[in-house]
Amino acid sequence: MIRQAAYAVEPWCVREQSLDLDTLAQSESVFALSNGHIGLRGNLEEGEPHGLPGTYLNSVYELRPLPYAEAGYGYPESGQTVINITNGKVIRLLVEDEPFDVRYGELRSHERALDFRAGTLTRNVEWTSPAGDSVRVRTVRLVSLVQRGVAAIRYEVEAVNRPVRIVVQSELVANESLPDLGKDPRVAGRLENPLVGEESVADKDTAVLVHRTRHSGLRIAAAMGHEIDGPECTITSDDFEDVCRYTIATRLQQGQRLCLVKYLAYGWSSQRSRPAVHDQVIAALAAAKMTGWDGLVREQRQFLDDFWAGADVEVEGDAEVQQAVRFGLFHTLQAGARAERRPIPAKGLTGPGYDGHTFWDTETFVLPLLTYTRPEAAADALRWRHATLDLAKERAEQLGLRGAAFPWRTIAGQECSGYWPAGTAAFHINADIADAVIRYADATADEDFTRDVGLDILVETARLWRSLGHHNAKGRFRIDGVTGPDEYSALADNNVYTNLMAQRNFRAAADLAEEYPEQARRMGVTEEETASWRDAANAIVIPYDKRLEVHPQSEGFTHHARWDFDDTPPDHYPLLLHYPYFDIYRKQVVKQADLVLALHLRGDAFTDDEKLRDFVYYEGLTVRDSSLSACTQAVMAAETGHLELAHDYIGEAALMDLRDLEHNTRDGLHIASLAGTWTALVAGLGGMRQYTTRLTFAPRLPPGLSRLAFRMRFRGRRLKVTIGHDATVYELLGGDPLEIDHYGEPVRLDGGAVRVAVPPFPSRPSPPQPPGREPARRDKTTR
Amino acid sequence: MIRQAAYAVEPWCVREQSLDLDTLAQSESVFALSNGHIGLRGNLEEGEPHGLPGTYLNSVYELRPLPYAEAGYGYPESGQTVINITNGKVIRLLVEDEPFDVRYGELRSHERALDFRAGTLTRNVEWTSPAGDSVRVRTVRLVSLVQRGVAAIRYEVEAVNRPVRIVVQSELVANESLPDLGKDPRVAGRLENPLVGEESVADKDTAVLVHRTRHSGLRIAAAMGHEIDGPECTITSDDFEDVCRYTIATRLQQGQRLCLVKYLAYGWSSQRSRPAVHDQVIAALAAAKMTGWDGLVREQRQFLDDFWAGADVEVEGDAEVQQAVRFGLFHTLQAGARAERRPIPAKGLTGPGYDGHTFWDTETFVLPLLTYTRPEAAADALRWRHATLDLAKERAEQLGLRGAAFPWRTIAGQECSGYWPAGTAAFHINADIADAVIRYADATADEDFTRDVGLDILVETARLWRSLGHHNAKGRFRIDGVTGPDEYSALADNNVYTNLMAQRNFRAAADLAEEYPEQARRMGVTEEETASWRDAANAIVIPYDKRLEVHPQSEGFTHHARWDFDDTPPDHYPLLLHYPYFDIYRKQVVKQADLVLALHLRGDAFTDDEKLRDFVYYEGLTVRDSSLSACTQAVMAAETGHLELAHDYIGEAALMDLRDLEHNTRDGLHIASLAGTWTALVAGLGGMRQYTTRLTFAPRLPPGLSRLAFRMRFRGRRLKVTIGHDATVYELLGGDPLEIDHYGEPVRLDGGAVRVAVPPFPSRPSPPQPPGREPARRDKTTR
């Protein structure tokens, strides 16, 4: 049984009040700091003990061969794996003769707190050495959201019970040894000593380590500098190939403190020379020092104040969800804030899980949140996809297709999936990217993006779909042999989600080509081509099971045997670790929302009755062995009137990492599930949809909540929506007047708050889930 | 462009009249000798040059890890690979100072011949050394079909133009270095130095090498002894860990000869001790020496005379097919004659292709031939399957199924497939094994086998099917998510071939359980269980496309896009080396007969009209990228009245290796295609079927042939069938009277020849094949 850490429930903070060594790796993920460019896991400053040391730079990866027992044409030969780069977090402490190590002596108190408004991780420790010397150590750590290449740590040590001689060692360490993570396929491959030293200097002020990766040929520089405040001390420096170290020795009287501010700067490049990346980190360090510690802290808070002003969510009646949704918003912001034309990995920069790869999670689960709260970060992520368009076109050609085929999993744009039925065949990622483009364009009216980036992506993905599908003898457009979102099925015909998303892709591409005729012409788009997209969209096959009156996930799905849930022991989940794909694929069992995700994202393509019947049907089959499910089930539970169930699923999505529900938070946070919590609240309970350029709401509150309020950005405005059981208040916090829909009725917002009644709606009892797979109940009193 | 060897067309022999170094590896496969236990590739005695050195013992393999880029539950972790064991073929010759090597000096003549009646490979060489010394070397080689552990070589060297000093070195060599075979997935993995030396002795008479494999822990012994005839000579012996050597030095006058008979004995065991396997090969060697060279040659011919008396096929009008069908019969016999409860690999023991694995080829393509020509070999092969039943039951349990799941590819019974969509999912192999059991039992009336072996296999495979399928809401029995014979589709629902073969399996298991109630009861078979098998058989889903009036290969197949044959360049076949499986699987393109194989093996389940429409439809889609297709297409072409096309396909199946049609004969012969030639003639032109215990014929001859005659064994009888254009003559050559069917009319055979007229039948023009994939025309004059 994997234990899980216990965090205090506070609205703006995750606080750990004592140190549990068994859950150290989980806490390292939860307490990770990042700005989307630099990622620091919440490792203790003294380096040990650790769960998993982790310092990451977005897109710094190493190549490793992908082996196959039986090779096949078009299989990728090498994969990209995120690597643990130079660790600048290390500050060791010697108290008299004794290294400060929480495993020895007496740990009198140990508290860590991640503050969502300050953007800092603080740590307060009181420790008595085996020899009886007590010290207080207080650290504050930040990764700057304002200065992209900069992180900093304020480290303070105080003599508590008597004078002590102390030595502080502040380091940069490359090629740390990493623990073996076992065989779970969701864990990253481990690479030994991926970095080759190129330069190591530590002068009086500044130390720099430059390394490069062995195979991927990336050059990485890390620099550190310090400010010291306290009694007189002696300072020495060392530099070795993989280590730079400053050693600060002093004597503290009882109650006296030594305070060290450590500035860190990181940079990397696949092209620039060693001197260039060296100079880059020295420059970033100079800027950080000029700003100073207080300045960095102030900048950080201002950045976050601005973010929360357009993003905060208030949840009354469920303090855990209140904390978790802000935790999720904070980490999603950290993952994407400064990624800047680099990918947003499934785990952000919080751990090495899934090899640091980016999947469809980004576009489908993360970007909706960013689109409506920090649109510039959404644009950056899509511009990254656009930057890989040529690679995607090459891949399409290799697969015998037209247009662009984006990779199922990647860091730098090349396909890194070593199992094609759940990789190459999951073509829906292309429609997911297109969908994110459409959503961003409609939600921001960002013309430059739409013309320069959006059009390219939509046209090339529409071309892909056109060549991937074909018309049958009856003139219907089929897309055969693909894998939909549910990873417990593969290689099926006419996956409803895929076909409906391709339909949206086709139509949006045709619309945009007509809107920007000159650009479209330059891409070779003709009227014949746009007409063929519209024809395919209109003729696309959407299978329907008339007997059951539900949509099969894919053609034939409802004819398959149901999984034998009754004979599946509770410890046999996730199924993929206990049953062969052969068995899983051929039966009715759903890992994660697939048809139900179509009900959400293409809700315009279903009637209310269909939504209800489909939702209930798939509830009985969905085991949620993926973190990408509960949030979508929450949305559709809410829309179909299962409000308590919606609340339950919101809880599950929200607490995925704070409660380690999938037992793998140690490898990194589930950014998509964290972002999905926002979607579950805003699109679920808020009923927010945007199928066109118009924003619509259909708010409804479960019995367990008394009030839900959220802020969002939309086409240059800031809005606030406050939902009660009887009425909803819409407020325009900034920007031009706007008309929205409330339950299908237009509501005009031009300054003040507008209060409108919430119509009564059915509250339905939960449909059955597979035995043992029901979500934990949020509101136990009401059932 | 891969060149191919040219062999003279002779009825009872394959003769190579000059040596072509570019096609050496192909000739080594064609000239391989084997008895099913020992396999010797046709390597030159002097060892070099070689294409691929090869000496094999059935079931001697090494383990190698099977790697996966993304692992999954139930994937096999290690595979079995056939290894090149101790080579006893080596006899080197030094002529004066010059090693005899065909690449140097002048090769004045070089002829090799494989004689199907003698069971020997002879070689006659005249060579002049760079120094001008001419010698004649004549060798005769055999692997005894009578003495299972024995091979022998008669080696004669003659001084031609002047006296010469010669040295002959006869060796046993382990751990020969092997050439790298490239990346084609159909080629074997190469293992370096798989053998660890345990013993090496060479006394005056006899040398023995004992080795064991590093990981699989098999112990292998090889022994050699000699008889020398000629002028006085000096003989010395050496032994090293991997080499034993006799060196024979003498002087030959002009016209004088030295004759060496080399006896070889092989043995292996996974359990017996070094002394035990040592003694075993010494004993086999003693028996061989006692028999003597002439005795071995005589025994060999007697064995083959007996075989041909019940197996020969005479083809008038196509000398190439005449040669090839006997070549195929001979090699099929070699592969299975003395395998004795060991598998018959896809390549026999002629090369390392497909890692030496056994597939469904054995039961579906090889055993029909053996069942009707050498039934004891068919029984042995099925007894080997039976010996692996416990492993198959374990595998079924691992897959969450009941009964037995036989491996897709294996040497020792464990699943060795590293790509599950074309391995684990190809469940039809279980019905194929059951089908071979039923055929053998019905064709031999071998009660002991049926009771002790057949029942077990049929019951456990029926149990497998029962747990693999399920009843849908309408009470129809479905088998979803499996891969049929066509490897260009995978994971489809209700593959017609699979379902019909499972139906046959169900019914035969139920029948046999009723026939042997006591044995069935001991296996826990109840009346409820047999009733459930019959119910499932009766309710099994056979999809049908009413619009096209054809059977889709699997549900939905005919809705898929057709492969774009017009835009597929000729050099892009086989498709699997040029297109991703993703693309291949989702389109209508057929690698090898699948539905058409069902038309043959379950011809009782289709009407004549259905057969005709289905055959024509799949002709347009079948590219024959597998050697397991032409023979089946020949059978159904004949049955549906496309007689010239049948002749063409017979030619393709027959010449697969003699013309190297798939460019990989170098890795070993395509035993299934060679055996399939017999099926193509006997079941195709002879129209022979046996759906019950009754043998039926419907003979028909294409215009290009003037007469076809074949012999076969059936329930203790020997028959001969002679087919002309107007009439067929049936003869009972031995055994009790028998009633057969000729075109549905009973014909009683009780001694003399019975002549019956062949009714007229339609001769239809060939339906179109994919462009460029038409079989080569056999009878160019008639079209």
More confident residue, B376 or B179: B376
Phi–psi pair at A51, nearest 5 degrees: -85, -50
Instruction: Kindly report, residue by residue over A557-612, the tens digit of the pLDDT.
Output: 999 999 999 999 999 999 999 999 999 999 999 999 999 999 999 999 999 999 99
Judge whether residue B59 has pLDDT over 70.
yes
The confidence band for A191, taking pLDDT boundaries of 50, 70 and 90, is: confident
Residue A505: which pLDDT band, with cuts at 50, 70 and 90?
very high
CATH 2.70.98.40 fits B8-288+295-306, yes or no: yes
User: Does the pLDDT at position B647 exceed 60?
Assistant: yes
Q: Are B88 and B242 in contact (CB under 8 A)?
A: no
Pick the CATH number of B313-741 from 3.40.50.1820, 1.10.443.10, 1.50.10.10, 3.30.1490.20: 1.50.10.10
Start-to-end Cα distance in chain B: 29
- Give the DSSP H or E segment for B321: helix B319-336
* Structure token pair of residue B544: 């049908």
Dihedral pair phi/psi, residue B106, rounded to 5°: -125, 125
| Model confidence band, residue B1 (pLDDT cutoffs 50, 70, 90) | very low
- pLDDT tens digits along A330-375: 999 999 999 889 999 999 999 999 999 999 999 999 999 999 999 9
Give the tokens for residue A611: 């939504």
B593-632 tens-digit pLDDT? 999 999 999 999 999 999 999 999 999 999 999 999 999 9
Edge-to-edge strand ranges of the sheet holding A738-742: A696-697, A738-742, A745-749
Task: Name the residue facing B493 among A482, A556, A582 (closest C-beta).
Answer: A556
Give A313-746's CATH code, choosing from 3.30.70.360, 1.50.10.10, 1.20.120.160, 1.10.10.10.
1.50.10.10
State the burial class of residue B432 (Cβ atoms within 10 Å of its Cβ: 0-12, 13-18, 19+): buried
Q: How far is A391 from chain B (nearest CA, A)?
A: 17
Where do runs of H (alpha helix) occur along B426-495?
A: 428-444, 447-449, 455-468
The answer, yes or no, to whether residue A641 has pLDDT greater than 60, is: yes
CB B36 within 8 Å of CB B58: yes
Q: Calculate the alpha carbon distances from B269 to B73, B219, B278 in Å.
A: 32, 5, 11
Nearest to B658 by CA among B319, B314, B315: B319
Distance from CA of A418 to the nearest CA of B (A): 5
The contacts of residue A614 (CB under 8 Å, 6+ apart) are: A550, A551, A595, A596, A599, A606
- Give the span between the Cα atoms of A19 and A728, in whole angstroms: 43
Residues B387-396 have pLDDT tens digits of 999 999 999 9
Cα end-to-end distance, chain A, whole Å: 29
**pLDDT at residue A181 in the model:** 62
Instruction: Provide the 8-state DSSP code for A767.
Output: P
For B672-684, the pLDDT digits (tens) are 999 999 999 999 9
Q: Which pLDDT score, from 0 to 100, does residue A781 have?
A: 46
Tell me the CATH number of domain A8-309, given options 2.70.98.40, 3.90.226.10, 3.40.50.300, 2.60.40.2380. Answer: 2.70.98.40
**Can you give the pLDDT at residue A779?**
75
Q: Which of A430, A380, A424 is nearest to A404 (CA)?
A: A430
What is the spatial distance between Cα A24 and Cα A14, in angstroms, rounded to a whole number? Answer: 15
Mean pLDDT across A90-100: 96
CATH topology identical between B8-288+295-306 and B313-741: no
- Give the separation between CA B308 and CA B333, rounded to whole angstroms: 10
* Contact by Cβ (8 Å): A337, A145: yes
Strands B738-742, B696-697: pairing is parallel
Q: Give every CB contact of residue B511 below 8 A, 6+ residues apart in sequence.
A: none
Which tens digit of pLDDT belongs to each residue from A405-436?
Answer: 999 999 999 999 999 999 999 999 999 999 99
- The per-residue pLDDT for B781 is 46
Position of tokens 């509250």?
Answer: A763
Determine, for residues B400 and A583 on separate chains, whether the beta-carbon distance falls below 8 Å.
yes
Q: Return left, alpha or beta for B202; rule: phi > 0 is left, psi -120 to 50 is alpha, else beta.
A: beta
Contacts of B421 in chain A (CB under 8 A): 421, 491
Task: Point out the least confidently predicted range of A199-203, B176-180, B320-324, B450-454.
Answer: B176-180
Q: Give the pair of three-digit tokens for residue B613.
A: 């429409």
Supply the pLDDT for residue A294: 98
Backbone φ and ψ for B204, nearest 5 degrees, come out as: -60, -40
Instruction: Judge contact between A32 and A657, C-beta under 8 A.
Output: no
The Cα–Cα gap between B453 and B446 comes to 10
Three-state SS for B325-387 is HHHHHHHHHHHHCCCCCCCCCCCCCCCCHHHHCECCHHHHHHHHHHHHHCHHHHHHHHHHHHH
Pick from B494, B497, B478: nearest CA to B486? B497
Dmax (CA) for chain A in angstroms is: 90
Q: Of the residues B415, B487, B644, B662, which is catalytic? A: B487
Decide if B499 contacts B470 (C-beta within 8 A): no
Q: What distance in Å separates the CA atoms of residue A172 and residue A695, rounded to the nearest whole number? A: 49
pLDDT for A1 equals 39
> Which one of A63, A73, A470, A579 would you mutate to disrupt binding with B, by most B Cβ within 10 Å of its Cβ?
A73
What's the mean per-residue pLDDT of chain A? 95
Longest CA pairwise span in chain B (Å): 89
User: How far apart are alpha carbons A16 and A6 in whole angstroms?
Assistant: 7
B586/A69 touch (CB, cutoff 8 Å), yes or no:
no
Nearest to B79 among A69, A399, A587 (CB): A69
Q: Answer yes or no: do B493 and A547 touch at CB < 8 A.
A: no
Indicate the pTM of the whole model.
0.94
Number of Cβ within a 10 Å radius of residue B11: 11
Q: What is the DSSP string of B24-64?
A: HHHHHHHT-EE-SSEEE----TT--S-S---EEETT-EEEE
- DSSP states along A671-687: HHHHHHHHHIIIIIIS-
Contacts of A578 in chain B (CB under 8 A): 73
Considering CB atoms only, which of B72, B560, B582 is closest to A399?
B582
Tell me the C-alpha distance between B498 and B479, whole Å: 8
Name residues whose C-beta falls within 8 Å of residue B481's C-beta, 6 or more positions apart in sequence.
A560, A582, A585, A586, A587, B425, B491, B492, B493
Q: Which residue of A has its CA nearest to B585?
A: A481
Is A398–B424 a contact, with Cβ atoms under 8 angstroms apart? no
User: What percentage of chain A carries pLDDT values higher than 90?
Assistant: 93
| Structure confidence at residue A782 (pLDDT) | 41
Give me the residue from A73, A183, A480 closest to B560, CB to CB.
Answer: A480
Q: Looking at residue A3, what is its pLDDT?
A: 56
Sign of CA dihedral B471, B475, B477, B480: negative
Q: In a 3-state reduction of DSSP, which class is residue B665?
A: helix
Task: Flag whether pLDDT at A201 surpasses 50.
Answer: yes
Test B580 with A79 for CB contact under 8 angstroms.
Answer: no
Q: Identify which of A424, A478, A581 has the shortest CB distance to residue B580.
A: A424
CB contact under 8 A, A185 and B72: yes
Q: Provide, as residue numbers in chain A, all residues whose Cβ is less than 8 Å from the Cβ of B68.
A: 67-69, 418-419
Centre a 10 Å sphere on the Cβ of residue B593 and count the other Cβ atoms it contains.
27
Mutation target among A63, A70, A408 for the B interface, most CBs of B within 10 A? A70
> Would you place residue B187 in the very low, low, confident or very high pLDDT band (cuts 50, 70, 90)?
low
**CA separation for the pair B101, B49 (Å, rounded):** 8
Look at A67 and B68 and tell me if their CB atoms are within 8 Å.
yes
Q: Give φ, ψ of A399 to 5 degrees.
A: -90, 5
Show me where the domains of chain A are located. 8-309, 313-746
Q: Which one is predicted more confidently, A765 or A633?
A: A633
What is the predicted pLDDT for the residue at A192? 82
Share of chain B above pLDDT 90, in %: 93
**Coil, strand or helix at B189:** coil
Residue B479 has pLDDT above 70, yes or no: yes
Residues 6+ apart with CB under 8 A from B314: B322, B707, B708, B709, B710
Q: Do residues A511 and A447 make contact, with C-beta atoms less than 8 angstroms apart?
A: no
Q: What angle do CA B459, B360, B368 make, to 5 degrees?
A: 85
Record: contact B491-A493, CB cut-off 8 A: no
Contact A385, A433 (CB under 8 A): yes
**Average pLDDT estimate for B733-743:** 96
Please determine, for residue B188, whether its predicted confidence score (pLDDT) is greater than 90: no
* pLDDT tens-place string over residues B429-444: 999 999 999 999 999 9
Read off the pLDDT of each residue in A546-565 and give the average, rounded to a whole number. 97
Short-list A429, A352, A447, A411, CA closest to A83: A352
* Local structure of residue A532 (DSSP, 8 states): H
β-bridge mates for residue A109, sequence order: A126
The answer to whether the CB of B113 falls within 8 A of the CB of B13 is yes
Please give the average per-residue pLDDT across B754-759, as a whole number: 96
Q: What is the mean pLDDT of residues A532-542?
A: 98
DSSP B666-677: GG---HHHHHHH
At B554 the pLDDT is: 98
Residue A189 has pLDDT above 70, yes or no: no
- Return the structure tokens found at B712: 């076969």
Residues of A in contact with B75 (CB under 8 A): 69
A480:B561 CB<8 A: yes
A36: number of Cβ within 10 Å? 26
**B interface test, pick of A395, A499, A541, A559 with most B CB neighbours within 10 Å:** A559
Catalytic residues of A: 487
